[in-house]
Amino acid sequence: MKKAPFLSFFVLLVFALNTLGPLPAKADDLLVPQPGMMVALSPPEDPPLLKGIKVHAEDPFRFDFILDKGDSELSADELKDESSRL
């Protein structure tokens, strides 16, 4: 097979190009707490969840989706978009 030398060259080329890419950020540039400092918990979140699906016996291709809207304050249109996404 003639693909082996081409594949080896391709892997070498990709490796070389990755080493020339952007350098990783230094630790001084990151916004992290100092070692030993306590980190506060993030506030609890209760997102919208799909709780169940109801299948109708008389029409098996008709579904009702049971959605728990959680603690979100979504408008009717936003809740409809979120339920479609779920």
The answer to whether the beta carbons of residues 83 and 65 sit under 8 Å apart is yes
Q: Tell me, what DSSP letter sits at residue 30?
A: S
* Whether this model's pTM surpasses 0.95: no
| pLDDT, tens digit, 9 for 90 and up, residues 64-74 | 888 887 887 77
pLDDT(25) > 70: no
The mean pLDDT value for 75-83 works out to 81
